[in-house]
Amino acid sequence: MKILGRYIVFSILSVGLAVTLFASVMMMGVDLFRNLDTYVTYNVSSQNVIKLTLLYFPESVLFTIGPSFLFSVTYFLSMLHANNEIIAVLNSTINYRKVLIPIIACGVAVSLFWFGFNETAGLPCSSQKEKLKEAVTTGESGPEDNFRIALSDMTQNYMVYASRYVNSTQTLYNVTFIRSFSDNVIERTDARRAVWDNDVQMWKFFDARIYESSPDGSLLNARTVDSYYEENLGLEPEMFRNLSNDISKMPLGIAKNYVNRMRYLNPEQYAEMASSYYERVFGGLTVLVLVIIACAMNYRFKKNILFFSLVFSVAVAVVYYVVRMMTMMMSRQGIIAPYLGTLTPFIVILILSGLAAYFTRN
């Protein structure tokens, strides 16, 4: 059984990795031709073009590894039946389920690899590519800069507005900070800019004018301050970044805190960002889902085993991606819980694959 297990693992990994590498190179070529017009328009140097193309490699691996292992498992099992090797295995008193165990183990291992590779190489390279492309084309605001920002935290009773946030200097411009107190006193601060101080982990306001109302609203006190630290504004610079970048470029720990904060700071966008967070965490399950789909197929066709097996595998994979698209859309709109957007398709396909395996083998 150990020899058979090593044979199965080696066969699946060798084909899966080879197809992943080949498909990734093709995806890099597609990305190059898709952006070629932009590179020519902005006269991007050949060195930067090569660097931008190479930075796309981790993302292309993440995109192609799932379908590649779907093909690898389907190819292995179809050849196992086509060459009658399955007869020798079954006659050796080895249950067919034991043949599937190393395959599922490979699926779990590759799913874990997907997650680790995405966190250590995929996201950093994608972020670096965006910054480099922005620098060599427009040279203007970076992709993480933001405009017309409005955040509120009702648990701390404050709101903050800013006309612009520049991520490279961690600076807010034209800042308005409003706090309310239990005795109906409202304090408002208007500052020309606010800079994040990493040493003290606080925002330092410059050229600020502070207004404070009396409890009955009849008096308004005003004073001008050249600079001071606002201890009550406990939001890190990551909270002010461009939300169009979602949370995919943040470290996972910061992304989790960001999503939790946004539940109160910006409830309207919480569902969308939480869905993206869970999609990032559970994204590697796609590989395992596709491997399970391939294992559940019926390989007892008389002719064209590989062709029919691939057709059925692709058909079920399409169902998975359609269900995932629908559930992700529902989770982003707040109709279902954010984590269900990613986990529901996995559960559905797991049930369908189990039913397919039961009815086709009995």
Whether the pLDDT of residue 141 is over 60: the answer is no
pLDDT tens digits for range 122-135: 888 887 887 788 77
Question: What is the model's pLDDT at position 360?
Answer: 60
Question: What is the model's pLDDT at position 253?
Answer: 77
Specify the pTM: 0.71
> What confidence tier does 183 reach under pLDDT thresholds 50, 70, 90?
low
pLDDT tens digits for range 213-238: 777 666 678 888 888 888 888 788 87
Whether the pLDDT of residue 266 is over 80: the answer is no
Question: What is the model's pLDDT at position 74?
Answer: 87
Instruction: Give the separation between CA 177 and CA 190, rounded to whole angstroms.
Output: 7
The residues that bridge with 230 in the sheet, in sequence order, are 203
Cα 116 to chain center, whole Å?
12
Q: Tell me the average pLDDT across 194-198.
A: 90
Question: What is the model's pLDDT at position 53?
Answer: 93
List, in order, residues 6 or more apart from 41 with CB less than 8 Å away: none
Instruction: Give the separation between CA 248 and CA 133, rounded to whole angstroms.
Output: 18
| Residue 147: strand, helix, or coil | strand
Question: What is the model's pLDDT at position 77?
Answer: 87
| Residue 170: strand, helix, or coil | coil
> What confidence tier does 243 reach under pLDDT thresholds 50, 70, 90?
low
Sheet with 171-180, strands from edge to edge, namely 146-153, 158-166, 171-180, 186-197, 202-213, 220-230
Q: Tell me the average pLDDT across 253-259.
A: 78
> What confidence tier does 258 reach under pLDDT thresholds 50, 70, 90?
confident
Rounded to the nearest integer, the mean pLDDT of the chain is 82
Whether the pLDDT of residue 316 is over 80: the answer is no
CB contact at 8 A, 122 and 58:
yes
Question: What is the model's pLDDT at position 321?
Answer: 82
| Residue 324: strand, helix, or coil | helix
Residue whose pair of structure tokens reads 């984590």 in the numeric block: 339
Angle at 249 between CA 246 and CA 254, to 5 degrees: 90
Most confident of 32-36, 110-114, 165-169, 185-189: 110-114
120 or 304: which carries more pLDDT confidence?
120
Q: Tell me the average pLDDT across 189-210.
A: 90
Instruction: Report the chain's terminal Cα–Cα distance, integer Å.
Output: 25
Question: What is the model's pLDDT at position 231?
Answer: 84
83 or 13: which carries more pLDDT confidence?
13
